[in-house]
Amino acid sequence: MKCFALPMRVVLAFAVLLLAGSSHAGGLYLNTFGAPSMGTASAGANAIANDASTAYLNPAGMTRLDDHRILGGLAPGVSTVKFNADANTPRGGTDGGEQGDFIPISSTSYVHKLSDRWRLGLSVLSFSGASLDPDDDWAGRFETTKITFFTLTFMPTVAVRLTDWLSVGAGAAITYGKFDLRVRVPVAILGDPTVRLKNLDDWAVAPVASVLIEPTPELRFGVVYQGETEFHLDGNIKTPTGVTPAFELELPLAQAVRTSIYWDATDRIALMMNSGWEDWSVAKSLPISTTAGSASIPLNFRDTWYLGLGGYYQLNDEWTLQAGFRYDSSALKDKYRTTALPVDRQWTFGVGGLYDYSEKLKIGLAFSWTDLGSARVNNTTVKGKYSRNDVFLFNVSFNWKKLPWSGRGTF
């Protein structure tokens, strides 16, 4: 069992990060999926409700859309990850070179108007590609040498307007997650082997509920709750010697509460804010069972919170400019962090513009930069910090209205 304790800890930590990639909030969740709100670093995202992306950002906001809507967004980007090992790092090794890679992000949402009060929505989100790929001889090689992952979420939603100022919504985030891991394990008898965990996958469901409050035409508040969900993962650990112990684990993903405010301050200026809390302490320790026995793996995750501010400025009849920033607290203290999870406190800055191409189409363009922090690592395997730990995303979105079937399918 001792031979596989470290790989299991790495698997669990990365599962929390990567399989949660289909979500969109602070802490270890992602906060953008190619929606126009990327231009404000997601500030106000749960209250803006001006396009079909509200189907997953705040389902209750669908009642604000006057007819059927479609939104498609792409946000390709790159990550730059560079580790600096301390001189006294226990097992030596290089900095691993550039560990980052290409990041493909996309989303598609559709909102269907059933009646003046009722709306249906469906969103499909994906985030896939290599996450970390350091050199094999780097200082953190006994925690990870390569990670790849893929996630895909289907989110059906429904909303109803109860009064002129109150709408409610609900849905379910149905997510497929898959990832592979490669890591070296310092076992003398095996001569420093490479251990592989391949094709770990599962489906998981998280309930979603939301409200949108509109006390005046210029002001609205959004609140979204996402329930806790679990992935049930199983697979085999493969080594060059053919040792393949089977393992099973139940991985909880945090419940979360997200709030946003949107205010049309003047005819040209809109201001927005968001905040939230995520219950990551649910993953403080996780049970695992293998053919070699059972154990409880300490991850020492803690709850996270975030805060964001942003704004719109209507430049002219065609262009609306966007800007915003967001801060996310760290889910890990330095002493519990590994190089398999190089995430610290996060700062995200976004800028963008919305262009009214025609009465049927609005195009969004945005850029965001996220600083993931120095993510200091200080454990018995490796010591050091990250000199570069950034994510750069470029977004284009298409918001279609006045669809060929507009006005149809309602009652």
Contact, 47 vs 58, CB < 8 A? yes
349: which residues sit within 8 A by CB, 6+ positions away?
Answer: 41, 324, 325, 368, 369, 370
Per-residue pLDDT reduced to its tens digit, 253-294: 789 999 999 999 999 999 999 999 999 888 777 777 666 666
For residue 233, give the nearest of 12, 38, 18 by alpha carbon.
12
Per-residue pLDDT reduced to its tens digit, 321-372: 999 999 999 888 877 887 767 778 999 999 999 999 999 999 999 999 999 8
Residue with tokens 């079909």: 52
Query: pTM (2 decimals)?
Result: 0.86
Average pLDDT, the chain: 82
pLDDT of residue 189: 40
pLDDT higher than threshold 80 for residue 162: yes
Contact, 232 vs 250, CB < 8 A? yes
pLDDT higher than threshold 90 for residue 55: yes
**For residue 127, what pLDDT band results from cuts at 50, 70 and 90?**
low
For residue 28, give the nearest of 44, 43, 12, 39 by alpha carbon.
12
Domains in the chain, CATH or no CATH each: 2-400 (2.40.160.60)
